Structure 1
Amino acid sequence: MDNEDVILSVIATALGKASINIGCSYNYLELSKWSNASSVASALNEKFDLQMTGAWVQKASSLKDIIEFVIQNGQMESNGKEYGLIERIANLLKPFDNDYDRLVYSNIPSYTLSKVRRDHKLGSSVKILYYREVESYRTFILTEDGISYSDTKEPRLEQYSWGHIRSVEFNPKDDRFYFYFSEDSNDCDYYYGYTLLKNTDNERCTTFANVLTQIAECFENEEQKLMDQVYSLMDEEKHQEALDAVNKLLDLDSEAQAFYHFLKTRILVEMLLEQEMSDDKLIDQAKKEINVAWSTLDEEALVELRPVMNTMDGILHNMCGESYQARNFFVNAMDTELSELKTEAEEYYLEAEEALQETWNNYTKVYDYKERKFIMPVKDIAGCTASDINVFRMNNIPSCFHFPAGHPVANELYIGHPYNPSVYIPYEGSEYTFFLDKIDELCYLLQCLGATEISVTAIRGKSVNELNNSATHVGAEASVKFFSGSAEYDNKFGSEKDSQSKNSLTLTQKFDPLKAPYLPEDLIWYPEQTNWQRLVQQRINGNMLEYHQTISTSETKFVSTSEENDLKASAKFLWTKVNASYKDSLETKFRQSVETEWKVDVKFRSIMDFNQSVSANTQSERQAKAEVCLTSEEKNYREEVLFCLEEGGVISDAERLFLERKRKKWGISEKRAQEIENACLDELLTDEEKEYVEELQAVLMDGVVPDNTRRLLERVRKSLNITEERAKELELSLAK
């Protein structure tokens, strides 16, 4: 059986026919159909080691053309010689070798190769298949990678890979070779016939153009063959071999480079999922590949590949211990119509949510305010991620969050309280809600400091009536209603309203405070308000009688204009995802609020007027005084000092060593520690003991009472009715 019969037999088998002959027409064989053409190409490629495509078979005009191509380029058993791809291409180019300024492959001298590699910036391993010297400084070459034109005089270097070249045609009218890169006739480049061949014979130039097209198809066929090999190896779970094959695809410099980076990521992720131990090197490699794919794939490809890529990116982040980022990638991966991909992504998402439960329970402690500032609960979370809004499913909102009554509501945008980490309120109107909350706390603080009259006057914006009428409050324990809280007073005067206009301009209430001024606990705004802190010091340590402060909503606006613009875009995206009416939401949630400014005026009862029994230095009042200016570390130190002084008011040697360790740990100076200890002693001493201590401090020299003053000090002790034992304790405490 000769070569022709062997080829016909292979084609017949591929088409499911017993036999065919060279006279069979294309219509009879139905080779214009893609399925038949593809089957024939695959069979011939496998038998004769070709890179033929179904598209080429469809374009062939007869069986004779197919047979001639196979005999010329295939590995025929009859001639006993097998050609590799490079050798077959060299064989196609050989007729154009003139042993002078047109040289083919093995006929190119080594000294010429060196110059060519230098001029065309080629590596030493790149095979040069054809060399054409136009001038000593101007050359055109064909390599295994593509075509290259160099002009070292201009200088100029143009290179196109075979993967980018669709076809080559010669136009005798303008003596140009046209290299087409797509079906668009305008997507091309050209070179004059003299540049490529020197010989301007039209027939010869047309033949050369056809050869160049065949070479491009050979490399295209090789690419398709490698692609089929990759998919086959992936199906067989031979991941290392598939990885080697996809690396060869990447070496081809094809137009599909971006897709091959995606394919390589997929193989690497499968390899990582197979391994029992984590492989950091492999993870880094996979992350690098997927980043390249994200940045180079066009939007059309991303539409199809985005769900898979999000899932892979989520898996990689999960392997790095980045559960929160992984969870968001899985959320995006769920945004697909393909049920299989959606189900897989949701399974990964639920696993990530479970891993994040501890983080959710401590969310406000784990993330700072800027990172957790905005949240939005939704029912369907698929595809709902935004850089500046944290999105949660309604059934899995962190337990540490607290909302106003009736909330949370699906698709509502919330903002976190800047000073009360667990509280979130609707973003709509939040500026004014925070404003009311701040006013509430100030009025409560003023009551605790012994206010007899508080007046709130609207300077501009909203009426003060809303202070009492407002039903919106920032959490159950985050604030108090106007003039409420645990302050002790007798509100026997009621309220007086100034009705100068339809809306009240001033709201006034009067009180009869029963308790000496003190600093209440659990204040929210107070730690950040330095003017309030000075007020407390002046009121408790002095005798301030009046106080005035103006508060504006500008002070409770915690979102800048640029931040709000970004937030608006993110919210619009999320509302579109959940099919909410974002147009109405944007108008209401982000409407410009009217700036409101209120003035708070207060009158205090004189500390001298408080009943002695009430205003005496009780333990709680002394504590309030002592704590006003203490840092958290100093407060901790004070608690330890009070504990050591509980029995007898004396600090033992062991207790002194204990306190010294605590002082150093908390970074408190010796001078400051002594001041705190003296203040603690002051809290525990009676008036008589204070007087005795003053006398002691006056006579002590280096911690010792001189003998010549001991008798006078004893007389003072007796006059103050202090026992000898107690006097010794006080003396020892001062001596230390």
Structure 2
Amino acid sequence: MKDIIIKELRKYPQVFDYPNEQDNKVYISKNIPSKKEHAAIKVHELPIKSEILWLCDRTFWGSAEDNTIITDVGIFYHESTFGDSFYWSITWEKLKRVEFIEGRDSFYFIYSEEDEDQNALLSRDSFLLNLSLEFVPHVLSALNSIASQIVDKAEILLDQLFDSTDIDEQINISHEIINNYPDSDSVYMAHLTLCYNYRIKEDWNNLLLHTDYCLDDLIDNELVDLNIDDDFFKQYITLNIYRGSALDRLNFKNRSLQHFLLVNELTYNQEEQEKSWNKILELKKALKSDFDTLNSSDKKFLVVDEVRMDLDKEKLIKVISKDEIPEIKFPVLHPQTEVLYASHPYKENLYFPFSSLEEMLFRERIDEFLHLVRCLGAVEIQIEFKKGKLTTTSEEIQKAIGGHVGREFKGVGISADLQAEEKRINKNLNSDDSGLKILQTFPSPNTSPYLPDDLTWYHNEPSWQNLKKFRVQGGLLHHRETLTSKEITKFYSKNESKLSIEVKALITNAKLDINTENYIHSTFKEEIVWDISIRFENYHEKEAIKASGLREPLKESKNELSEPELEYLEEYKFILSENLEINGISRKMLNRLAEKLKINNERREFLEKSYSDGLTDEEKEYLAEVEFCLSEVDDIGPIERRFLEKERLRLNLTKDRTDKIEIIVKTNINK
């Protein structure tokens, strides 16, 4: 193409190859000064490697800003007047012919015979200053000859493409058309031909590249007049046409879906509509089921859109259509539009709203760790909140420590009640609870330490695995573990900056809630830290006593009671909680229960002594604090309640028990 253009221009040196007056010069090919060439490339925003074949500098002062240039792509024109710039260009493939209209002293560049609005007028002086009328035919001859030869060459190549039966030859010709005549009408057919041949050669990467081009052309320009039974599209839709990555295949089908949606919308043929609709249903079903085949890294972040999918493999956040939501799990009341979701790091196809992700996963991790240490024989667990907000009530934490959050020992795994999780997370105390401690004790376990089979985090936590090893093999009695939310957010913070950029873009396009950016910042910048101290049962000593046949010594601690003793003590506490004293009939009932449970009088008296006067030492201490709070006021207000709540947690008392103590104090005051 370059040779054709230079050859035609050199035929008319009086116009294209001579030095004009001092301030208005023309240059051809290698005679063009590099400074002017680079300036012209910049002004016209041409590709860096573009080669200018002819340049007319029309600027009065000789700069390279106002000019007309010819390249192998087409003709480009720029003019600046009083700070305003005017640009015009036309490619050789689009140029039908050039005429000269004498009445307007202008060149008439014809794009289309049918649509004259696409055609353009360029005055004689605008094309080349001081161009004499006698040389106008030379300009017309050169430009029309170039346009016709280039168009003819593209058509000749297309004819060769149709005549060829050799695959490699067809590929070479197609690439020549695409590279040398990018704006010609032959390009689409060249891409289509490459698709056929790359499919036959099983060159899947190149196949995807060129089918993408074809679909862009179809969708952008609404070229939907191709019969959808065309062999290419039949094979294009076939599931095994592309064997690249799972994400590439899913993109392939998504783009096909967009094509057939467009076909269905624009065609008026009922038969064609029915065929395209069947394809649409088939592709929607495939998009849902195939999402499961994606790598975890390809679907870590999701947004649900009302209209269409965007599975760009260069983006972290994938957009899925509300009508084609895959087989994935969300919390109750989800998914919703304008919400950013993130996947669970270890559970396939489970997604949480990013706004509550950190706390949900931190809670789940804590739950599993507490379940693990209970199965390993923990008899005492203390949790200290070192940093961050306590986003749950103390009763819920005590239940978690006791193994009641969806678990039973030797039973099922973590609770999957995501709705309950979200409700609890929304019960923020809105204050920093660092320094708060919770202590829970347990009876001696009846089994040796064991590893439960319903664990998720354990298999990715080396410190937990070491804990199990030292406990089972070495009889470990004490352990301290620090759990932080940073160990969770590390799964998502690797691409924090890119994630933030994409979130801003989606907010701008109204695809995400405006607060999402704040959630990103708080998740990666704030931290929750819990210290957990555990005391384990000495099961080696217990096993040794059992093997010797000796009777176990009397237990002195309320934390190490047998099951019958716990049952007796529970009844004793219940009677005290109701009556605050043991009367005649209740004493007879307790004595009869002790006989049935085979608890001797010495042991019974020891158990009851622990709760003399109807209250334990901890309960007496709480009672004194309640009396202090009510010494100056008639009722417990918000300030007193917060103080008493902290005392209750410190003393490890149940809410039911402290409520009864408060009633006792108020009753005594009223008396």
TM-score by length of 1: 0.45
Q: Higher RCO, 1 or 2 (CA under 8 Å, sep at least 6)? A: 2
Indicate the structure (1 or 2) with the bigger Cα radius of gyration.
Answer: 1
